Amino acid sequence: MSAPDRVTVLGGGSWGTTVAALAAQHGPTTLWARDADVVADVHERHRNSRFLGDRPLPDALAATTHLAAAVASADVLVMGVPSHAFRATLPEVARHIRPGVPVASLAKGLEPGTHLRPTEIITELLPGHPVAAMSGPNLAREVLDGLAAAMVVATRDEGVACRLQPLFATDRFRMYRNADIVGSELGGALKNVIAIASGMADGLDVGDNTRALVITRGLAEITRLGVALGADERTFSGLTGMGDLLATCISPLSRNRRVGEGLARGRTLQQIIDDMGQVAEGVRTATTVMELGAKYDCHLPICHEVEQVVHHGRDPREAYRGLRRTIAQSEQHEVA
């Protein structure tokens, strides 16, 4: 019988730590974090108090601040750093990763300027390594609390997908496969922008009908742009599309939703980010989405209003008034 795969997860935030905790239930797993206090907490108390409160982590989960050693030992490498940190992290990874090691991304964002998806950055900087995206409606604290959840491993390599599935699956956490890596990554990235709009709806107290409208038409925008970029339309009705969108738009644990809610209540973006102490990917993605919309001639009215609020000082109430000016046409074929 062969030895179990050794998994290394790069990124000591809430979701990276949670995925490492799932893997540690099956085999040797190392979590790498830049923050020495996070590493010490995992070692000494089996907690990540900064990001996950007092939730226990598996005793077997190791943690380190030494990137080279963590990468060199990996049979499977999981990138849990934010998407904007991929390009800065991967050159060091390239110096130590062994040939043929699969690399999976947890990031839900797009690189500013290049518009690249996380797996495209991996392919550029780690040529020859199989790549996958792992995404879905996953709120870290609920997963660690043992509530039922699921995730998709998206890759064109069926063998890699089948290898990764059992490394993270538990009796309460399902792992599905999807060959549409483009749609799976875009769903995870674009829904963050819509979640900011949903949070603004909560902050403005415009009602559940309006929030449902925003979420549903937001899905139409995500699908429209995703298909233009080569994704399979069916993906957006699944876990990495509608599933992830719903969880991120309605949960009080959602960072992007909290950004929208805070903005609608008169707080500044910097105040909100400082209080959370974590990245809200939708803030950066909003501009990238609008650039892609212009490039592919996709009408994205909700994303446009979010980008105006987040980056150009538009008042959230005015943004919602702006959405009301859109003329409804056929639900299946309209552009708004």
Distance (Å, whole) CA 204 – CA 173:
35
How many CA atoms lie less than 13 Å away from 258 in the CB half-sphere? 17
Residues 269, 312 contacting (CB under 8 angstroms):
no
Burial class of 252 by CB neighbour count within 10 A (0 to 12, 13 to 18, 19+): exposed
User: What DSSP character marks residue 25?
Assistant: T
Catalytic annotation present for 295: no
DSSP string, 133-153: EEESS--HHHHHTT--EEEEE
**Radius of gyration for the alpha carbons in the chain, expressed in angstroms and rounded:** 19
278-304 exposure pattern, b = at least 16 Cβ within 10 A, e = fewer = ebbbbbbbbbbbbebbeeeebebbbbb
Strand 149-154 and strand 131-135: the pairing is antiparallel
Q: Output the six-digit token pair for 80.
A: 């849990």
Q: Chain-centre distance of CA 242, in angstroms?
A: 14
Of 108, 117, 129, 191, catalytic: 191
Q: Which residues pair with 103 in a beta bridge?
A: 77, 131
Phi, psi of 97 (to 5 degrees): -70, 140
Q: Output the six-digit token pair for 244.
A: 């992830």
User: What DSSP character marks residue 239?
Assistant: I
Q: Which residues are catalytic?
A: 191
